[in-house]
Structure 1
């Protein structure tokens, strides 16, 4: 959550948190106003965090619970994405802090599962997220901008 709060603040957006996570939504991001045809565009996120070695040269492979997969692939009014935050194995390595910097180690990756196909799996689905889909403040601004013009993330 700290990672998402930091990039959202830098991007200039606000966060909201649903009281109950029935729809696999941990956090929502909202932009005030806007320049597109949709004012105050929103984006909802399902957050996952892992220290497992799931990186290859081009992607990360994350095993997602089937309920979360099904909740994220629907055609919801507010677009939804899966965000996987990678962290070091040792919790003491997650954060570096000095008088000059606050550094959160590793990064997050995002993917939209909207309109993904149904699966015959009964418990989980392995999702492949391109490593180019790093969730940084510039990328978040680009996603929100697309939503404000009626496009998907």
Structure 2
């Protein structure tokens, strides 16, 4: 994608990287509001973009008072996408995903670290993506999530239509539910293993 040139002749961030930055900001704000651990790579990446986990406990250094968070160890990987090319189809949001990116999610074994696909849906008009005021910062529109299961696609030069149930709106409640469900799944698996 060619670089955008401002009126002053400066080169601006590409639209794709701007979209990725907005989706990263959404997930950063959401994880902060949910008070969960988040790790995202600093550079722009087109594979797995980060991990989420619950916090097991907070340890406080008695001499300094500094708090250290301890992860629970129930990590979930995520791949983050952002697009204005999505559509509502009944109870779903549909979006076409490149097979190469799809294949990074597909085919994970049952014992693998779980992975979710997060899609930030932007309005068509770039001027509507964000609003800034003294009272608020508004980021439009929202993120949905889903899991990708099944075999990898042999031809990586194609696309795959992905359906995101609209009930899978990514918010504080759904994020903590995803992480809690993963914790329960792993605890049950290891409990059965130990018997």
Q: Is the 8 A contact 1:23 1:71 kept in 2?
A: no
Structure 2 CA distance for aligned equivalents of residues 72 and 23 of structure 1: 12
Give SS of 2:90's match.
coil
Superposition pairs for residues 68-147 of structure 1, below 5 Å? 68-73=101-106, 74-75=108-109, 77-114=112-149, 116-119=150-153, 122=156, 123-147=158-182
Q: Determine helix, strand or coil for the equivalent of 2:94.
A: strand
Equivalent position of 2:54 in the other structure: 31
Q: 1:64 to 1:9 in 2, by over 3 A?
A: same
Secondary structure of the 2:87 match is coil
> Which consecutive unaligned segments of at least 5 residues does structure 1 have?
none
Secondary structure of 1:70 counterpart: helix
Structure number with larger C-alpha Rg: 2
Output the TM-score relative to the length of structure 1: 0.82
Q: Which has the higher contact order (CA 8 A, sep 6+)?
A: 1
Gaps of 5+ in 2: 1-23, 58-70, 187-195
* Matched residues, number: 147
Question: 1:77 Cα shift?
Answer: 2.6
What RMSD, in angstroms, separates the aligned Cα atoms of the two structures?
2.5
Query: What is the TM-score of this pair, normalised by structure 2?
Result: 0.66
Deviation, 1:118, is 4.6
8 A Cα contact 1:62 1:128, kept in partner: yes
Structure with more of its chain in helix, by fraction:
2
